[in-house]
Amino acid sequence: MTPRVRIPFLRDPRTCEEVRSLMTGYLDRDLEPASLRRVERHVRFCPRCRRVLSNLRTTIERLAHIEPPAPAGDEVIDRIRTSWRDRDE
């Protein structure tokens, strides 16, 4: 009996692209159930897309922790108020 030759599973890059386009919706829980399942099914078998999804989740977490910019100083606020008071009507 001839040994079975294992054929590498070739993923269609278009499927990866389509699934990645759904990832923001997936993470925001803003997808139809069928699309949700599609993402889950795909990432189960596609390590690259699984990594992209994980990284996207990490990215969003990091964005949420970016610190606020240095607050406006009193002189900035004064200039904003003065600018309004001195406006041309």
Binding stretches for other proteins (CB under 8 A):
13, 16-17, 20-21, 23-25, 28, 30, 48-49, 51-52, 54-56, 58-69, 71-72, 76-77, 79-81, 83-85, 87
Dist CA 39 CA 47 (whole Å): 12
Query: Given the complex with other proteins, which of 1 and 12 has the nearer CB atom?
Result: 12
Query: Given the complex with other proteins, which of 24 and 40 has the nearer CB atom?
Result: 24
Min dist CB 44 to other proteins, Å, is 16
Judged by DSSP in three states, 60 sits in helix
Helix axes 33-45, 47-64, angle to 10 degrees: 120
Nearest CA to 42 among 8, 11, 4? 11
Query: Given the complex with other proteins, which of 2 and 83 has the nearer CB atom?
Result: 83
